[in-house]
Amino acid sequence: MPGDEEISTSTPRRALSWRWTIVIVVVTFLVAGGMRLARSLVSRYALPTHGAQWIWAPATVADHGPAAFYAVRDFSLPFRPRQAELLLLADRDYIAWINGEEVAAGRYRAGDRLKFIRVAGLLTQGKNRMVVRLASDEGLGGLIASLTVRGEGRKMHIRTDHSWRILARHQRGLLAHKEPLHGTVAPRVWADPPTGRWGYPRIGPPLPVLSSLASSSSLVSPATTFFRTADGWRPLASGRSTVAHPWLLFDWGRPVTGGLWLELSRRERAEGLVWFGTGVPDPESRSADEEVIAVPRRRVWQSAEMRRFRYALVGVRGGVAGAGVWELDARRARPWLYVPRGIRGVFGLEPPLSRPTAENEIWSRLKGFPGPRSRETR
C-alpha cells in the first residue's frame, strides 16, 4: 500500500537524522572540552600567572549595585621562603595585604599590567594569609593573583581559584591572621585568562612593597577641617573631631603623598565621593576621583590609589568622624602614584561634564544635602 511505502522510507531517514544529531552533539562537546583543556594548559604553563583564574564574589550578573568585600587565602609553607614574587591585578579598586602588611593597592584602568612585587620578607614558614579588599561601583569585577614561593629547593604556587574564600563583612583580626574566618563562601570563578576585557596578563615593572614606603608609622591628620554652611565653608572648632554633616573639606596645609583614610560614622551602607587637589576641588566641574564603598562593619575606608594632594573634599552619606593620610616617601613612592591626566577635547575645548552612572546616583543622593557650591574657605 502507498501508506506502507511512505512509513518504510521515512523511518530510516528519521533514524539517520537522529544519528547525525547525536554525532554533532558529541563532536561539539569534544571540541569544547578540548578547547577548555588547551586554554587551561596555556594558562598554567605559558602565562606568567601559572594557572590563576579570574574570581569574584558570587553575586548574580543582574546585581549592579556598589559592592565591597574581601577575598582571602590561607596557606601553609612547609619550608622557609627564600624568594617570593606576587603578581596581582583587580578590577576595579583593590588593596592587598600579606600577613597584615599592605603590599599593593590601585584602581584598574584599561591596559593595566600585573603588579609585580617581591614579598619573601613578609612570608613565614607555616601559616600565612593573603587578603585583598575589592570594591566595584557596579558590583561586578575580577581578581587574578599568583604568588610563587621558592625555598630549600622547592617551589609553590598560590593562585586565585575555587580554593579562595569570599568574606562579605569585616571581621576582627582578619588582616593580621589572628582569628579564624567565619561566614565565608566560595568565589565565583569567571575563567582562565584571557577573559573579557582583561585579555592576556602582562607583567609590569618590579614595585616595592607599599608598606615599606611609609615615612611615618602614624596617620597624618589634616591641619584644618571645614564644613559647609549656608554662608560657605567654615572651619571646625578646635577640639572637635566630628560634625554631623555629609560634606567636609580637609586641608593638610601642605602637599602630602599617600592614601586617604576616612573614619566613617556608620558601619553599614556607607557610600560617598572624594575629590583630591592641590587647590580646593570643585565637584561641579569634574567627576569624583574615587567612590567611597566600604566593606560592611568596617569603620575605616582607605583610598586604593596613592596621590599627591593638599585638599580632600569628601561627601559621605552618614558622615565622617575623621580623616588622615598614610604618608609615603614621595621620591620612593613614585612608581605607585597616580598622576591624573588633563581632559583633552576637540580644538582644546573641554567636553561637558558627564558622570559615570554609579557616581551620578551617589551624587544625586548627596545633592539632597547642602552641597559644596563655594570654592572659598573662610
When pLDDT is cut at 50, 70 and 90, the band that residue 38 belongs to is low
- Range among 27-31, 37-41, 353-357 with highest mean pLDDT value: 353-357
When pLDDT is cut at 50, 70 and 90, the band that residue 335 belongs to is very high
Give the CATH number for residue 188: 2.60.120.260
Q: Are residues 229 and 204 in the same domain?
A: no
Q: Are residues 273 and 331 in the same domain?
A: yes
Q: Are residues 243 and 153 in the same domain?
A: no
Average pLDDT over residues 82-94: 97
When pLDDT is cut at 50, 70 and 90, the band that residue 196 belongs to is confident
Let me know if residue 325 belongs to a domain: yes
Residue 198 CA: distances (Å) to CA of 28, 65, 213, 333: 27, 21, 29, 26
280-325 pLDDT per residue, tens: 998 888 889 999 999 999 989 999 999 999 999 999 988 888 899 9
Average pLDDT over residues 17-32: 67
Q: Are residues 144 and 272 in the same domain?
A: no
Contact 369, 246 (CB under 8 A): yes
Q: Are residues 232 and 198 in the same domain?
A: no
130-175 pLDDT per residue, tens: 999 999 988 899 999 999 999 999 999 999 999 999 999 999 899 9
Q: Are residues 82 and 199 in the same domain?
A: yes
Domain region containing 301: 224-366
Reply yes or no on whether the pLDDT at 3 is more than 80. no
When pLDDT is cut at 50, 70 and 90, the band that residue 364 belongs to is confident
Q: Are residues 325 and 253 in the same domain?
A: yes
Q: Are residues 99 and 193 in the same domain?
A: yes
Let me know if residue 26 belongs to a domain: no
Nearest to 80 by CA among 111, 42, 32, 121: 121
Contact 173, 297 (CB under 8 A): no
Contact 104, 15 (CB under 8 A): no
Let me know if residue 346 belongs to a domain: yes
Q: Are residues 157 and 254 in the same domain?
A: no
Reply yes or no on whether the pLDDT at 327 is more than 60. yes
